[in-house]
Chain A
Amino acid sequence: MLEARNITVKRGSKVLLSEASVAIVPGRLTALIGPNGAGKSTLLRVMAGEFRPTEGSVHLDGEDIRSISAARLATRRSVVAQSINLSFPFTVLEVVMLGATVPGFGVRELEAATSARQALRAVGLSSFEARTINELSGGERQRVHIARALCQLSAAPRPSSETAALLLDEPTASLDLKHQADVLAVIKEQSKNGRAVLLVIHDLNLAAAFADDIVLMADGRIVGRGMPDDVLNEDLLSHTYGCRLRIETGIDGRRLVFPSAITDRLSKGAVAE
């Protein structure tokens, strides 16, 4: 279990996070949602161990991550950040292998390549391994970095009792509809295989379709948490996002969220015709 306890982050007089607590557990996919500037990415970065919160602490299987070395932490959690700008001409396979050639892992080159190829297969980029990363589209690059994070967790030497956490900051932001679904299926598969997954995502319908748990944030605070059906209710979301939202139930019983501004237009158009 990766657990953020009462995290407060201040930058000068600005409060980015205020007593936020989140726990992600192996086998479940937790989606972190909320309007722009809610503090989702900041919370993810604190949980990744990227920087120390002003107050509060992060624990991995009960152990404060401040007492875990960078190399050992890397065997137990991997991160896909929002935008990664790589200006050196690595090939796709080389980038993914960076996930497995971590100094402390002691993974041999050949094993690293095997792990990397498996991860590339998982994100559907097997035929891209010799391409240079600068030649790829934004969406393809995003999938390469997801493969790198998967490769890191699969190649790392780690006792099975330890939690392996995968943290992703809007991994579907630059993807088209097909690849959004494909990538989320890969991420969902990871959680089914026992990873603890935290996913920052803007698309509420994708969150509803894939998440086991949803955490809703606004203004640096956590304002709702629970199963998708509990959190995705009209009043809570409309209040949090500051606009009227309509929630429908899809054929399979999952929630579908629409801004009323859109549904109103659609229904007006229908009337006019």
Chain B
Amino acid sequence: MTTLDAKLASAGTAVRPSRRKVFVALTFLLIASAVLSLAIGPTGISLQALPRAIAVSLGYTDDLAAARDRLVLIDLRLPRTLLAAFVGAALATSGAIMQGLFRNPLADPGLVGVSSGAALAAVATIVLGQGIGAPLIAPLGIYALPIAAFGGGLIMTLLLVSIAARQGQLAVGTLLLAGLAIGALAGAISSVIVTASDDRQLRDLTLWQMGSLSGASWQKVFAIVPFAIAIALLAPRLTRGLNGLLLGEAEAMHLGIDTERIKRIAIATTAAAVGAAVAVAGIIGFVGLVVPHIMRLISGPDHRVVLPGSAILGASLVIFADIVARMALRPAELPIGIVLALVGAPVFLHLILKRGIGGSE
């Protein structure tokens, strides 16, 4: 075989790395990002202070410097890193699921309005929690916000699914435009509520519109634990079903997949992931678009790799982005949504140009 023949033969072929290698590399990346996130911050406290901080926590010392280290490492950076990891994993997973469900690689919860719906529900809950909704909302405690955001995300996802069902398979452009429209409506209503309200929790408009992890706390970490568990249990049930759905709904059914059940689980999982992420960090776009795209470039579109891979890669990406958000303009902080948009928007543009906008493929 000549070199030219070999080149021709390899044109359009795909070589897949072993799944083991992919997951080892991704796990390494996640650990590296987490360690970095704990070690870096505007206060300049390094990881060397960790033993002292733990000693304070366990009550072995009450040294003032050590107490400050503890505050920064254990009460600020650690919950923030955990939240960043969760938000990244949740958004990337829900992006991958939505893309499979809509057979559309451009679906992203931030771009098609699901996040905006979740944010509107969260904002409304804070306002109602002070007034007439209090008896209903107060008993939910720290879970009130993620539950409400889950509801908002669910309504938006169901709305998109019903639009898709009416049209058969949604053209890429139609889904994006419909999502843009309903997302803009939800965003506008949220802005009105936020601006009109004088509630302390709501005053930070950027949290809801551009996404931010600056309010990270252990309380928020605990609030999303049940959601993280639910997503981890549900997502693995979707992998083969979503693979089949990529062929088309009828084809998936021919392959023995209970398509209605897969769709229900996919919708619930997406809403739970987006709802919990929005409740703690506001609207963060592009993670759900960029991360599954990178995963498919690495390992192909098989959801058995794309879903767990996206979760790990998404966690790492958002942790890294949060480090940039904290450090770039220190002591001021950039909203993390802006950092991710700087990376994600060009990728989105590239994807659109490659496919041709409005194309049905």
Contact = CB atoms under 8 A, between A and B. Distances in A.
Contact of B256 (A75, A89, A135): A75
A88 to B, nearest CB: 4
A99 B255 contact: yes
A103 B250 CA distance: 16
A79 B257 CA distance: 14
Interface in B128-150: none
A99 B252 CA distance: 10
Contact of B248 (A73, A84, A91): A84
A89 B16 CA distance: 12
Given A84-B248, A88-B301, A131-B12, A102 B255 contact: yes
Interface stretch (B181-189, B212-220, B237-245): B237-245
A89 B361 contact: no
Interface in A240-262: none
Contacts of A134: 12
A104 interface: yes
A90 B300 contact: yes
B289 to A, nearest CB: 15
Contacts of B296: 88-89
B342 interface: no
B14 A98 contact: no
Contacts of A101: 240, 243
A15 interface: no
B253 interface: yes
Contacts of B14: 89, 91, 130-132
A12 B258 CA distance: 27
Contacts of B233: none
B179 to A, nearest CB: 18
A213 interface: no
Interface in A25-66: 45, 48-50
A70 B255 CA distance: 8
Contacts of B75: none
Given A81-B250, A84-B248, A98 B12 contact: no
Contact of B250 (A50, A72, A77, A132): A50
A105 B257 CA distance: 11
A59 B105 CA distance: 39
A89 B300 contact: yes
Interface residues of B, number: 31
Given A88-B105, A89-B300, A102 B250 contact: no
B251 A84 contact: yes
B290 to A, nearest CB: 16
B256 A79 contact: no
Contacts of A86: 246-247
A71 B243 CA distance: 15
B103 interface: yes
A130 B256 contact: no
B6 interface: no
A29 to B, nearest CB: 19
B254 A74 contact: yes
Contacts of A84: 247-248, 251
Contact of B257 (A50, A87, A103, A135): A103
Contacts of B251: 79, 81, 84
B302 interface: yes
A111 to B, nearest CB: 16
Contacts of A170: none
B11 interface: yes
Nearest to A136: B12
Given A90-B301, A103-B241, A85 B256 contact: no
B254 A131 contact: no
Contacts of B254: 48, 50, 74, 77-79, 81, 152
Contacts of A105: 256
Interface string A103-117: 111000000000000
Given A87-B103, A89-B300, A132-B14, A74 B247 contact: no
Interface string A122-149: 0000000011101100000000000000
A94 interface: yes
Nearest to B246: A88
Given A81-B251, A84-B247, A89-B300, A70 B257 contact: yes
A95 B247 CA distance: 9
Contact of A70 (B243, B247, B258, B360): B258
A101 to B, nearest CB: 6
Contacts of B244: 98, 102
Given A98-B255, A102-B257, 16 more contacts: A45-B250, A50-B250, A50-B254, A70-B253, A70-B258, A74-B255, A79-B251, A81-B250, A85-B361, A87-B103, A88-B105, A88-B296, A102-B255, A103-B241, A130-B13, A152-B254
Closest 10 CB pairs of A and B: A74-B256, A135-B12, A88-B301, A71-B256, A130-B13, A79-B254, A102-B256, A87-B361, A91-B14, A70-B256
13 contacts: A50-B253, A70-B256, A71-B258, A72-B256, A74-B254, A79-B250, A84-B251, A86-B246, A88-B301, A89-B296, A98-B244, A130-B15, A132-B13
